[in-house]
Amino acid sequence: MRYPGWRLLLFLSAASAPCYWLYLGAIAALGPDPGKVLVDNLGQGALVLLLCSLAMTPLQRLTSWSGWIAFRRQLGLWSFSYAVLHLTAYLYFLLGLDFTSFTLELIDRPYMAVGAIALLGLLVLAVTSNRWSMRKLGKRWKKLHRIVYPVLLVVLLHMLWVVRADAGRWAIYAAIAAALLLVRLPSIERKLSCLQGKAGAK
C-alpha cells in the first residue's frame, strides 16, 4: 500500500459524509435560527432533568422502593451535561466562540450571570456526587447537596428573565418545582411518612 494515510482519510471522509448531510438537514429543520432553538431546548432539557432528579426522593418515600435513588444521581449528572451543552451551543452558535463578547454579556446581562451561578452550583453537585466525596464529606455531604434547591430557584429565575412575556411554560416548571420543594419541607415529609405508615399497616 503506497498511501495508507490518504486511503484512511478518504475512507473516513466517505464514511462520515452521511453524518455531515444529516447535520445539515437537522440544522435546516430547526428553522431560520437553529442556534437559538438548540440553546433553548438544551436549557429546557437541563431544567427538566433537574426536576426529574429532585422527584426521585419523594417517589422513594411514596412507594418505599429504594431503586429511585439510583436514578437520582444519574439524572443530576445528565442535567449538568445538558447545561454544559446549553452553554457550549450558546458560545458556538450564538457568539461564534467570541469569548470577549461572552465576558461582556456576563457583565451586561444579569440573566447570564444568574445562569453562570446555576451552572457553577450544578458543577459542585456533579463533582461531589461520587462515593469518594460522600465518604470524605461525611455528614457535610447531605448539607452541601441541599444547594440543589437554591440552584433550582436560580435556574427558574434565569429562565423567567429570558421568557418574560411568554411565561406560560415557565409557570408550569415553577409549579412543579414548588410542589417538589413543598414535599421536602420537614412538616410535610412527616405527614407523608405517617400516611405511608398507615397505608402499609392496612
Q: Which residues bind ligand HEM (CB under 6 A)?
A: 36, 39-40, 43-44, 46-47, 50, 83, 86-87, 90, 112, 115-116, 118-119, 122, 155, 158-159, 162-163
For ligand HEM, give the closer residue by CB, 166 or 201. 166
* CA atoms of 95 and 102, how far apart (whole Å): 7
Residue with Cβ nearer ligand HEM (105 or 189):
105
Task: Give the whole-angstrom CA distance, residue 83 versus residue 122.
Answer: 9
Give 88 or 196: the residue with its C-beta nearer to ligand HEM: 88
Instruction: Supply the minimum distance, in Å, between the C-beta of residue 156 and ligand HEM.
Output: 8
Q: Which is nearer to ligand HEM, 72 or 158 (CB)?
A: 158
C-alpha cell, 82 = 445538558
- Shortest distance, position 17 Cβ to ligand HEM, whole Å: 32
Q: How far is the CB of 116 from ligand HEM (least distance, A)?
A: 4
185 backbone φψ class: left, alpha, beta (φ>0; ψ -120 to 50): beta
Rounded Cα distance, 101 and 106, in Å: 9
Residue 166 CB burial class (10 angstroms; 0-12, 13-18, ≥19): exposed
Shortest separation between residue 125's beta carbon and ligand HEM, angstroms: 11
